[in-house]
Structure 1
Amino acid sequence: MNNAFAATYNDVQSIELYAKISAIVKQSPEALRKFYCLGGYDYHDDMEVPNVKLFDSNSNYKESNTPRDLQFDEKRIMHIMNVNSFEGDLYSTDTQQPATRLTGVWFLPSFINHSCSPNSSRLVVGEAMFIIASRDIAEKEEITISYIDGMFPLKIREEKLAAMGYGFHCQCRRCEAERSVQSELKEYSSQYHELYENAALEVQGAVTSTVHTHIENCPACTELSAVYDGILGKLNSLSSLTNLEKQWILGGYSSAFLAKWLVCGYASGFSPPSDFATPQALQLVEAMKATVPGMLRTLSFATMLATAAQKDKNQVFALVHRLIQLALDECIRVYGKQKFDVVSKLMEQSAEFVPFF
């Protein structure tokens, strides 16, 4: 889906995007009408329910009714942009070129509803957005994406959705399952909430430091690791949850495992490999794939695990093979079907991404 409203930006502001959108809709009543069909903070009662063909550039669709006389409203434009803009990496077709940051508004993807366990992912190449099936989708099943980074526990996901001003309380299956055991997980959720920011700083320090950072100097990462172990034990005792629901919860706490794993890995060069390519790490990759399939973070983690496992001469072949298959599959979920040499290059590049942020 090509986008006339895409623009590169820095992370401090998106003024360039607003200026570009304003210039387009001021010159084109049709573009303004399309833009006003998107949801904003306070304009739901005044929203038009359009025919989807209105947004198809290849369609000859013509409205039988005369469009309303719409006026440019700076506040409304900004609200719609804030609620509907997508942010992410803009990838070039040249795999040698690094990704740049981009924010933009794509009309049709803006109508896709949110789920904390979506069945689709999105990829931006140039100014086109691709919606990719990140798992098998049943006939008549609604296409969903995640509006936020869904690899967090329930409390943080709720805070992120509220902060973005989407105006809804997520009631997807994953959220409802987690709410059903909220009292049992409250202690771990609170600890995670308190420790995450400090752990993120410790991981960032370990990644960027010119000297090795030892885990003894990363108390938040160490405590988060204990939280993960506690969650793992608690989930094993909750008979009310299905295996998939347990994976969803485990995926949400993935950073609690990854914090210590990454700090120790960067300090040791992920050696010996047997300390890192473990059955517990494999269990987490599978949980992350089940929770929010099609994430670069999961691809990076799976690739790093597969690389470590291949270096371990004593590693069980079945584990090595499983990790490679998981990494290959996740690469397809992130980037869509590609030639094998392209997939190999993308997997290699993914290992440069820190699977925590």
Structure 2
Amino acid sequence: MASSWAISHAGSRGLLARANGRRLAVAVAAKRNVHKAPPNNKPRVARLELDNERLYTDAAYLPPPGAGPITLVKAPGGGRAILATANIAPGEVVMVSSPVAFQTAPVGTDLRPEQLLQALDAAQLSDAGSHRISLLYDGTVGSTSQVVPLDQFFNAEAHVKKAAAKAKAAAKGFGAKPVAAREPALATCRGFGDKQADSSVSQPPSADTIMQGGAAAPGRSTVANSNSRRLEAVVKFNAYGHEHRDLAACEARQEDDSAYVGLWPEYALLNHSCAPNTSATLVGDRLVIRASRAIERGSDVTVSYLQEMAMTPAQRRRQYLSGAYGFTCMCNRCKLEDSQPEAVKQRVQSIHETVSSQEWQARTQAAYSSKDARLLRQMQEDAKALTDALEKDMDEAKVGPEVQPWLRASAYSAYFLQALGSDVGKKDQLAVPRSLLPYVAIVAPASDVHLLLTLEVLLRAAEQAKDSKETESATRACILAATLRYGNMSQGLLTKILDAIIKRDSYMGIFTVARPASRSTAAAATSEAVSKAAAA
């Protein structure tokens, strides 16, 4: 990465010092107020607290699995859902899940669920791991029909031992009630209510079926001896992976980055939403799930299965989810788009199809790679023509201002290209990345793109506005995005996390894209700005 873009550790600490000292302290105090013991006439709410300083600095530390104020319930219309049993504050830990299977590969490798299945076939799982797998959704209606306490997941080993002891006592005639032939089935509820059940997939076997071990050592089970077709379905519907880990967490913990795929049973229980209220961060082999928005008591706790397709129209999102997970999404965002006038919906879809076409992709790549002013100007004008048409359609249809950002988020690719064309090859403009932030924050808070855009706005504000309200506002927005993703942090850890992100090539919210040469004067201007902030 060009040194002109970098902010030194001391420099970034100076930039954030004032905002941390004033506003982050207020945020931390407010968060602590959320965790105050309730009045004596109300039960105390169990919260899952993590040592963030250790979590992001000690590579040997893995947080224990556990759940915050959530419960698993039967959802209206069928299936199940994870609900909040108390108000959950933004940035608060919802759960920590450990994998029953986990595989890594060099960065950029497209690891597929099938590869995880091969690893499972050759592995020996603990009885607890087998029990957790036995409770997951496999594509059948039967696998979503029963609800068990979350304790059976997070404390599976104790549950299995207790069940085994009970069965042994019953066999000896000690008066214990006979144990049912199979454990209640539990599903991931991926798209409950619109599940496309596959009758060719067998019904969930009991934990004992999956735990058949043959010659396996006591307390272990050979996965190959389980129902292989069901296991294949479980992995297909519940595996989760990415082409790279959380880059800031890796840098802070001094871990190597890698592609990964794994099976985290508790995480798999979370239903999908195209505008989720949680985000997941991989730390070691643990998935740490935090609230990315305020979650009210009784609300669904959701996650997105979309990743890169989060900023696409409802039709494209549903097409992907139906093919990958077998359900038609009816989340609030999808229903909001469904309720819009037909002309507006068709415009959003048309924009996506146009920008996604091979012709547009080739033109965009040529314009950005060459930095040719004529090509960039043409790209900007063409993209602006698309966004202007959408704006006109929304005005004519009298789409409310509270709905418009959601529609722009679904047509994000055009707004992004318009911003890109107006930015590349020119002196960095603060308004360009800031114009994209509302659409990302409303759909994917705490995502990579959200955090990268807030950081880019902060860097540009420090360079241009220096010690001003613009810099203070940008600092607050960046701290908020980092807190949503990583939780409350000390000033030192916050600086370390942001420095780790700055070290990676990124531009306009996208990792691995080289920053433009126009940032050649950024370092000097930023140093001056942070010096003034530190002095203040």
Please state which band the TM-score falls in when normalised by the shorter chain: 0.7 to 0.9
Alignment CA distance shift 1:237-1:197 (3 Å): same
Alignment CA distance shift 1:220-1:159 (3 Å): farther
Q: Are the aligned partners of 1:215 and 1:260 in contact in 2 as well (CA < 8 Å)?
A: no
Alpha-carbon distance between aligned partners in 1 of 2:452 and 2:374, rounded to the nearest angstrom: 21
1:181: which partner in 2? 340
- Out of 127, 139, 162, the residue aligned to residue 285 of structure 2 is 127
Q: Please state whether the residue corresponding to 1:70 is helix, strand or coil.
A: helix
1:162: which partner in 2? 322
Q: Please state whether the residue corresponding to 2:506 is helix, strand or coil.
A: coil
Q: Establish whether residue 290 from structure 1 lines up as the match of residue 389 from structure 2.
A: no
Alignment CA distance shift 1:191-1:251 (3 Å): closer
Alpha-carbon distance between aligned partners in 2 of 1:16 and 1:182, rounded to the nearest angstrom: 44
- Out of 83, 86, 90, the residue aligned to residue 237 of structure 2 is 83
1:340: which partner in 2? 491
- Out of 430, 444, 452, the residue aligned to residue 277 of structure 1 is 430
Offset of residue 323 of structure 1: 2.9
Q: Tell me the amino acid that sits aligned with residue 141 of structure 2.
A: H
Q: Are the aligned partners of 1:119 and 1:134 in contact in 2 as well (CA < 8 Å)?
A: yes
Alignment CA distance shift 1:11-1:93 (3 Å): closer
- Out of 321, 325, 329, the residue aligned to residue 476 of structure 2 is 325
Q: Are the aligned partners of 1:255 and 1:356 in contact in 2 as well (CA < 8 Å)?
A: no
Alpha-carbon distance between aligned partners in 1 of 2:394 and 2:256, rounded to the nearest angstrom: 40
Q: Tell me the amino acid that sits aligned with residue 70 of structure 1.
A: T
Q: Output the aligned Cα RMSD.
A: 3.1
Q: Are the aligned partners of 1:299 and 1:350 in contact in 2 as well (CA < 8 Å)?
A: no
Q: Are the aligned partners of 2:239 and 2:263 in contact in 1 as well (CA < 8 Å)?
A: yes
Alpha-carbon distance between aligned partners in 2 of 1:204 and 1:35, rounded to the nearest angstrom: 44
Alpha-carbon distance between aligned partners in 2 of 1:179 and 1:224, rounded to the nearest angstrom: 24
Offset of residue 219 of structure 1: 6.0
Alignment CA distance shift 1:126-1:12 (3 Å): closer
- Out of 358, 382, 395, the residue aligned to residue 223 of structure 1 is 382
Q: Are the aligned partners of 1:215 and 1:264 in contact in 2 as well (CA < 8 Å)?
A: no
Offset of residue 213 of structure 1: 4.7
Alignment CA distance shift 1:99-1:34 (3 Å): same
**Which structure has the larger Rg?**
2
- Out of 45, 56, 62, the residue aligned to residue 142 of structure 2 is 45
Q: Establish whether residue 353 from structure 1 lines up as the match of residue 506 from structure 2.
A: yes
Instruction: Give the stretch that moved more between structures: 82-91 or 152-161.
Output: 82-91
Q: Tell me the amino acid that sits aligned with residue 11 of structure 1.
A: D
Q: Are the aligned partners of 2:351 and 2:414 in contact in 1 as well (CA < 8 Å)?
A: no
Q: Are the aligned partners of 1:53 and 1:59 in contact in 2 as well (CA < 8 Å)?
A: no
Ranges in structure 2 where 5+ consecutive residues have no aligned partner: 1-96, 167-178, 183-205, 211-225, 512-536
Q: Please state whether the residue corresponding to 2:386 is helix, strand or coil.
A: helix
Offset of residue 153 of structure 1: 1.8
Could you tell me the percent identity over the aligned residues?
Answer: 18
Alignment CA distance shift 1:81-1:200 (3 Å): farther
Q: Are the aligned partners of 1:300 and 1:347 in contact in 2 as well (CA < 8 Å)?
A: no
Alpha-carbon distance between aligned partners in 2 of 1:158 and 1:247, rounded to the nearest angstrom: 20
Offset of residue 28 of structure 1: 4.5
Alignment CA distance shift 1:28-1:309 (3 Å): closer
Alpha-carbon distance between aligned partners in 2 of 1:134 and 1:346, rounded to the nearest angstrom: 18
Alignment CA distance shift 1:45-1:213 (3 Å): farther
Where relative contact order (Cα < 8 A, 6+ residues apart) is larger, the structure is 2
Q: Are the aligned partners of 1:299 and 1:347 in contact in 2 as well (CA < 8 Å)?
A: no
Alpha-carbon distance between aligned partners in 2 of 1:218 and 1:230, rounded to the nearest angstrom: 18
Alignment CA distance shift 1:27-1:104 (3 Å): closer
1:107: which partner in 2? 265
2:197: which partner in 1? none
Offset of residue 113 of structure 1: 0.7
Q: Tell me the amino acid that sits aligned with residue 230 of structure 1.
A: A
Per the normalisation by structure 2, the TM-score is 0.57
Offset of residue 46 of structure 1: 4.6
Alpha-carbon distance between aligned partners in 1 of 2:485 and 2:478, rounded to the nearest angstrom: 10
Q: Establish whether residue 70 from structure 1 lines up as the match of residue 212 from structure 2.
A: no
Alignment CA distance shift 1:97-1:134 (3 Å): same
